[in-house]
Amino acid sequence: MLPLKGIIGQDRALQSLKFGLSIDHLGYNVYLSGALGTGKTTLAQAMLEDKACKEPPPSDWCYVYNFENPDCPNALELPAGLGKQFKKELEEQVEKIIARVTKALEEDEFDYKRGQIMGQFLEKTNILYLQAEEEARKLGFGISKTDQGINSYPLKEGEAMSQEHYMSLSDDQRAELMKRSSLVQEKLAESFRQYRELEKSIKEQVKNLEKDTADSVTAPYFEELLQRYRRYPQLIKYLKDLRQDLLDHFTIIVKQDESNPWNFLRSSDRRNLLRRYQVNLLVDNSEQNHAPVIFESNPTFSNLFGQIEYESEFGVLATDFSKIKAGTIHQANGGYLVLHMYDLAKNFYVWDTLKRVLKNREIQVETMSRMFGISNSETLRPQPIPVKIKVILIGEPIYYYLLYNQDEEFQKLFKIKADFDTEMERSRKHINDYARLIASVCESEGLRHFDREAVAQVVDYGSRMVDDQDKLTTLFNKLVEIIYEANSWAKQSRASVVTGSHVLRAIKEKRYRASLVEDHMHDLINKETILIDVHGRQVGQINGLAVYELGDHQFGKPVRITAKTFMGESGLVNIEREIRMSGSIHSKGVLTLNGYMGAQYAQDKPLSLTASLTFEQSYQGIEGDSASSAELYALLSSL
């Protein structure tokens, strides 16, 4: 028998999901609604993978440094696989550029040009010095160079004036000497200003020479990149900005003074500068052959929407564009994302952000602390990335109805609902599908195969689960549990195939493991702690069967229902209802019973009756309209 592919008995859900996946308009995301184990995840996986295989892989996304606004990194979109290639090529070219510029600045040609500039500087400074010396001699002063600068001194017959001669001068002569000294200082100050301007000009010429040299040697490398990626305008602009920034800061990158004790600070600056020229490959689809299908089992805020990481630098938390990390939505962009509603409900603030992403069709990576305004750390505002994604939510029906009624945006964003039923017709086709399901589980899990009798017992178990001989359950996880356990019993008995007796043993043992409370109640009945009359007749008393549900185990507990009637005007008094041990459906049944009694016996005169109804030795709540029906029979017996 061929193994089963897909799921059984969910034609309505299959058609709804297929229709939802075929619509690309805003808001046509899908909610798969059904009980646990009805095959929601299995169907979603099969249909999404089948559809995704027919669609091309989405684009790569990169974050790069924004040279105009460093706090807002730019997002670049590239065809699938090209992002990884561009990242690698840019790293290689930057390394080659740095090595080539370093070598060019050490070549003889560069040294010759710089020597010419420095020679001109020395020549002009010498001329300035000679002019200053000549001006000073005209005023009777000489000048000399020292470590502190240029000093002036008075002359006497072409030689420096001695201290004795200076002391012999009259006051008028000293005043005249001081006046000429002031003029000399003014001339020297002017010459020094001209020297500073000349020095500044020479430094600028050397810097331009270095920049021109770097520009000339880097041009071929950038031309190669520009030519290769000429079809991508954003990439061309980024490469041009990168080249300009590299030329503006190449001295920090290339030149390193090993003798400087503060060199570690320059090394940090160099490392930060080099990081500017890296590419943060946020989403790499080079290995994708089709649109992505991602199941996120832990949809925390950072896992779903990405995050910005930090590192400590000199005791301060800092970050940059390379610390931006992708989330599941980035990875599923251009494809399909499957989430479980129960997991979303457990994670704070995820639901509102997910709705915003779907509504705006873009995602921006940001931190939770920034959203609440509680962080003083340096942070970024990356450029938002456009989002084209189909979200499939899987959850219980209660979540769907709560969201539909309480959240207006949910109605606009999840317009397709696929309902999964818990039962199906017991037709020949579905019985055959049951057998194929068993075969597929045995084949995929390496289990022993089932014979005809074993398959029949599994089918009967499927009918017992829905309490209907004409129906079969679609809670396939419960069936798979029986398949596993029957195989285990067959293994213990060293059988080559699983027989009907193994399936019955698995069902029996499963019930036995969960029936501890039931057995205790039976013991209480046998010991007559719980009183149940099973012989004879009794007026105003009947035996009922209360159904208990403990986890996945159901059993019936016999209960005694009694009714006492006597003259009075109180009507029906249900003790469970009066002490609030009665459920709403049971209370409604009791009130309906009261109306029945009035219509039956009080058409022409008031009903002078007081009746007391109770479930004896029942210490749990009572619910269901069948309970009020049983109370009616006890009441009629008493009357």
Q: Domain spans of the chain? A: 11-58+288-419, 76-286, 423-514, 531-638
Q: Rounded to whole angstroms, how far apart are CA atoms 370 and 379?
A: 8
Whether residue 482 is predicted with pLDDT greater than 80 in this model: the reply is yes
pLDDT digits (tens, 9 = 90+) for 232-270: 999 999 999 998 888 888 777 775 555 555 454 456 677
Task: Give the per-residue pLDDT at 446.
Answer: 92
pLDDT band at 72 (very low <50, low <70, confident <90, very high): very high
% of the chain exceeding 90 in pLDDT: 45
Residue 170 CB burial class (10 angstroms; 0-12, 13-18, ≥19): exposed
Whether residue 390 is predicted with pLDDT greater than 80 in this model: the reply is yes
Topology classification of domain 531-638: Ribosomal Protein S5; domain 2 (3.30.230)
Is residue 498 within 8 Å of 451, Cβ to Cβ? yes
Lowest mean pLDDT among 17-26, 55-64, 266-275, 525-534: 266-275
Whether residue 292 is predicted with pLDDT greater than 90 in this model: the reply is yes
User: For residue 64, which of 385, 375, 327 has the smallest C-alpha distance?
Assistant: 385
Whether residue 578 is predicted with pLDDT greater than 90 in this model: the reply is no
pLDDT digits (tens, 9 = 90+) for 154-183: 777 777 777 777 777 777 877 887 888 888
The token pair at 574 is: 């249900």
pLDDT digits (tens, 9 = 90+) for 25-39: 999 999 999 998 888
Lowest mean pLDDT among 10-19, 21-30, 283-292, 571-580: 571-580
Whether residue 606 is predicted with pLDDT greater than 80 in this model: the reply is no
Whether residue 322 is predicted with pLDDT greater than 80 in this model: the reply is yes
pLDDT digits (tens, 9 = 90+) for 179-203: 888 888 888 888 888 888 888 888 8
Tally the C-alpha atoms within 13 A of residue 364's C-alpha that lie toward its C-beta: 15
Topology classification of domain 11-58+288-419: Rossmann fold (3.40.50)
Q: Name the average pLDDT for the chain.
A: 86
* Domain 423-514: top CATH class: mainly alpha
CA 503 → CA 411, 471, 492, 551, distances in Å? 45, 20, 13, 21
Task: Give the per-residue pLDDT at 263.
Answer: 52
Task: Give the per-residue pLDDT at 573.
Answer: 79
Give the H or E element holding residue 277: none
Is residue 455 within 8 Å of 4, Cβ to Cβ? no
pLDDT digits (tens, 9 = 90+) for 146-156: 766 777 777 77
